[in-house]
Amino acid sequence: MKILVTGGLGFIGSHTVVELQNVGFDVVIIDDLSNSSVEVIDGITTITNKKPLFEKLDLKIKSEVKDFFNRHNDIAGVIHFAASKAVGESVNDPLKYYENNINALIYVLQELTKLNKKNFIFSSSCTVYGQADELPITENAHVKPAESPYGNTKQIGEEIIRDTCRANGDVNAIALRYFNPIGAHPTAEIGELPVGVPQNLVPYITQTAIGIREKLSVFGGDYATRDGTCIRDYIHVVDLAKAHVVALQRLIGSKNDSNFEFFNLGTGTGSSVLEAIQSFEKVSGKKLKYQIEDRREGDVISAYAETSKANNILGWKTELTLDDAMASAWKWEQKIRNK
Ligand code: WQD
């Protein structure tokens, strides 16, 4: 069976392509290479010994999307990762985010509705919850006004998919609401490749440890948490990738309870920034240089998943730990810096 993975050369996309190939799916990747590199194909192929099909394509161009689907009308499912995802950038350049994240989704969905098999997995985010009123966060938590245009594109995206499924009973979709994806493939053949100064915590930690960054700024040490730093649910990217395969198989096997479902994907455990640093220091044997500084605008204090719906209904749970993720992230950083 052929599966389309848009954004398949990106961080989560590339790890998902590996897991799809590991269970026998054929994969075709669309990526515009705006935030990824074509060498990632070599990393995937080294791991699975199967080279995925790849087409460089801009999903914002409707005619290109139409042409692609005319040439690949045997697709059994689509996993849609392609999107811009930097929260800070989205605040400064909202129209780039609405154009890229919404138009591309619309054009892919329009072509999906013409396929024989209309199975769709959407890359969503716990960002849709904002600062949840209750922790851990369940799927019934109130979706609050987005804190950034990026988060708003995920909320709007889910609504577009919900309406499409309501209007097309034969379109089956699952939105996966990720918590904080971290780590890299244990082979260190693929991993996170942030462009420029990393916005996210873990690549900043590993770049500090390897000497690219002078020190890590811990954004805020006076929050009402156990150690004053923000709490997040850090999920190993390989566990996250496997959840996409389980969700796709759920739709292909018509095991879904309705034609639009959504699941939180997390470990169910919250870790503070200082605890994440301690985990890294333990697995790397490196002392990390960091300094507690001012809070970062827009940060929620604490977010971690209530995982029973994904565990009991989707039939998936995380197997890897924060230490596993930190160790894989460090191994990857050393590999790409040839150290
Ligand atoms: C985690 C914690 C920071 C960097 C974002 C998006 C989310 C998803 C994942 C796309 C926070 C602290 C960070 C640093 C720090 N992206 N931190 N120093 O903000 O929880 O989630 O990335 O889907 O949608 O919102 O992740 O890694 O940026 O921050 O202290 O140099 O680490 O304050 O508490 P975040 P993050």
Q: Which domains does the chain show, CATH number per domain?
A: 2-181+236-265 (3.40.50.720), 201-231+268-337 (3.90.25.10)
Tell me if 191 sits within 8 A of 185, measured CB to CB.
Answer: yes
- Structure pTM? 0.97
Instruction: Annotate 40-57 with b (16+ C-beta within 10 A) or e (fewer).
Output: bbebbbebbebebebeeb
Tell me if 169 sits within 8 A of 258, measured CB to CB.
Answer: no
Choose one of 11, 35, 84, 87 to mutate for the ligand 1 pocket test, by most ligand atoms within 8 angstroms of C-beta: 87
Q: Which atom of ligand 1 sits closest to the CA of residue 178? A: 23
* Dihedral in degrees, nearest 10, Cα atoms 293, 296, 299, 304: -30
Spatial CA neighbour of 80 closest among 125, 121, 112: 121
Whether 237 is in the pocket of ligand 1, judged by its Cβ within 6 Å, is no
Whether 105 is in the pocket of ligand 1, judged by its Cβ within 6 Å, is no
Angle, vertex CA 152, rays to CA 247 and CA 314, nearest 5? 15
Tell me if 237 sits within 8 A of 181, measured CB to CB.
Answer: yes
Whether 200 is in the pocket of ligand 1, judged by its Cβ within 6 Å, is yes
If you compute the radius of gyration of the chain from its CA atoms, what whole number of angstroms results? 19
Whether 146 is in the pocket of ligand 1, judged by its Cβ within 6 Å, is no
Q: Which atom of ligand 1 sits closest to the CA of residue 180? A: 9
Question: How long a stretch of residues is the chain?
Answer: 339
Instruction: Annotate 3-33 with b (16+ C-beta within 10 A) or e (fewer).
Output: bbbbbbbbbbbbbbbbbbbeeebebbbbbbe
Q: How far is the CA of 115 from the centre of ligand 1 (A)?
A: 37
**Mean pLDDT of each 10-residue bin along the chain, 339 residues long:** 98 98 98 96 98 98 98 97 93 96 98 96 95 96 91 97 98 98 98 93 98 98 98 98 98 98 98 98 98 94 98 98 98 92
Angle, vertex CA 175, rays to CA 78 and CA 87, nearest 5? 100
Residue 224 CB neighbour total at 10 angstroms: 7
Provide the annotated active-site residues: 150
What pLDDT sits at residue 155?
A: 96
